[in-house]
Structure 1
Amino acid sequence: MASCDGNRECWPELPYELWRDTCSTLQLKSQIIGKIRLSHTPWLNHSWHVTLYVTRRGLTTSPIPLREGVFQIDFDFVDHLLRLEASDARRVDIPLREQSVAEFFVTVMAALADLGIGTKINEWPNEIPDRIRFSEDRMHSAYDPDYVNRFWKALVEIDRVFEFFRTGFIGKCSPVHFFWGSFDLAVTRFSGRRAPLHPGGVPNLPDKVTREAYSHEVSSAGFWPGGGGPVEYPAFYSYAYPEPERFRDAVVRPEGAFYSEQLREFILPYEVVRTAESPDKTLLEFLQSTYEAAADGADWDRAALECPLGEVGVPRIVSRA
C-alpha cells in the first residue's frame, strides 16, 4: 500500500512543546477559513460541509459555492501562502508568517472583498475555552514554518492510511477530513442506527450542532497534534458514541495503545507509529482493533457493513443476493 511506509522523512518528529504557540495560532487561523466555508455552504449531515481536506501542499476548503461560480481557499504549507482563488481565475496570495490573528483576519476579509466575495462570519472561536474575537486577538501570532511543514507531512501520511482503512467499510462512512474546531483529522463509521440524544457540553459549540453530529451510532478515529487536556503530545484517538458497556475493557493493538478514562477514548501516541518498523501497519492495527471494540461491543451488523480492504484497479466483488 505505502511507498513511504517507515520513511522517517515522511513521518517527521512533531513534539508539541516545540511548536505549541504556532499550533495554537494555526488552529485559530484555520477556524477563520473554515467559518468562511461555513458561511457560504448549505448544511450537510454531521457538519461535513465545514471541514478542510489534506492536499499535496497543505489544506483546502475545496470549492465553495457562490451565486455565480465558486471560490476556494488553500493553505500552502510548502511555500507558506494562503491562496484565495475564484472560478473566474482571479487570485490573491497572502504570506503565512508571524502575524497576529487579528491582522490575519483583516487581511483575509479584505482579500475576499477584493475578489467581490461578500462574507460575514461569527468572530468567536469554537471548541476553545478561553477565546478572543478574531478581530481583537493580538495574543496569538507565532508561525514556525518548519513545524507547520512537518505537521502537513504527517497529515499527508495519516490521510493516506485513513483513506485505505476507509475502503474496508461499505456502510455509511465519512470522508477523511479535517475539523478546524477541534483541529483534528478524522474518519467516522456508522452502524446505521439512531443514537440517544447527545448531552452536548462541548466548549463554545452550540449543543444543537453536537447533537446533529452524533445523531447516529458511530465509531470514530482521528489524529490531533496535541494540547488541551491530558494528552499534551500528538496522538491518534478512537471512540464510540454511544460508548458500549464493554468498550473500555477491550484489548486493542498495538502495544502502547491505552484507554483514557478522562477522554473516554483509546489513545495511541504518534511516536509509537512514527518509530515503528511499519507505521502503516501499526496505525491500521489501532484503527481496526478499536473499531472492532466499538462494533462488537454494540452488536453492529458487521457482515453487512464490512468488505475486504480495497486493491488498486480491482472492483469489489458483489455476489448474487
Structure 2
Amino acid sequence: MAAVEAVLIAGPTASGKSRLALELARRLDGVVVNADSMQVYDGLSILTARPSAADMAAVPHDLYGHVNPAEAYSAGAYLRDAAASLAAAKSGGRLPIVCGGTGLYFKALLGLLDTMPPVPAAIREHWRGRLAAEGAAALHGLLAERDPAAAARIASADGQRIVRALEVGEASGRTLSALQAGRGEGPLSMARTVKVVLTPERPVLRERIARRFADMLAEGAVAEVAAFRAMPGAMGGSAARAIGVDELGAVIDGSLDLVAARERAVTRTRQYAKRQETWFRHQFGPDWQRLEGPDPAGIEGI
C-alpha cells in the first residue's frame, strides 16, 4: 500500500470506536476527526457519547459539537467541513483518524456519493412550507411514491431528512437514492486509506449499550436534556432525534419514570445498532477490515 493518508474507523454505537481512535491517534501522532451525524451538534455531549474532555485534551479532536443544534446539517456540509479538517491535519503533519457511525459520511469522504446539487431557495421554501402545513408523515408518503429506497431508510417523523430528499429530487431531476449510489469526488483515496469496521458479538454489544446508558445517567444526562430543551430552536432540529432526548424529556415533564425511560432508550439504541450493523455489512466491502474489538494490534496496514 502507498503511504497511508487516513485511517477510517466505523461501527455500530457502543462498539468501541472512540477508544480505538484515541489509541491510534496516540501511537501515530494523529488527530481524531468525527464522522458521526449526532456528535457534530452542540448541546448533547453526554447523550451522543462524544469523547470525554480528558480524551479530547489528550489528542487533537475535530468536528465535535461545532454545529448549532437549530441548524440543518447535511452530508454535503459534513464533506466540506471534513475536507478542511483533513487538509489541516496534513499540513500539520498529523494522520487523520476518522471515527464514527454514519456510513454516508464515510462514503462521501471516499467519493462514493454523487455531488449533491444546489437547491434553489424557492424549492427549499416550498417544501419547508408543505412540511409545516401537512406534517412529516404526509410528505413521507409522497417520498415513498417518488423515491421508495430513500423513504425506506428515513423515519416517517424525520421531517428534515424527508424534505431534503424531496427538494434534492426536484432540484436535480434524480432521486436522492440514485445520487447517493453514484460516484462523486471525495478528499480521500480508497487505495491510501486503512478502513476498519468494528463488529462485536451481539450479546457483548447489547450489554455495552445498557451499561453506557447507565453511565450517561450518572454523568448528568437528565440535566443535559433539560438544558438542551431550553436552547433556542434546538428541539426543532435533527439533534433532537438523539436517543434519550424524548425519553428523558418525558421524565422531566413527569410523564415517565426514570426506570422506564432508561429501558426505552436502551431498547431504541439496540435497535439502532442493529440497523447500523446491517448497513455496514451490505455497504462496506472486503476492503474494510472487520474487527470484533477495538484492538490496534489487529489492524493491518499501519
Q: Normalising TM by the smaller chain, what interval?
A: under 0.3
> TM-score, normalization: structure 2?
0.27
TM-score (norm 1): 0.26
Higher helix content, 1 or 2: 2
Which of the pair is proportionally richer in strand?
Answer: 1
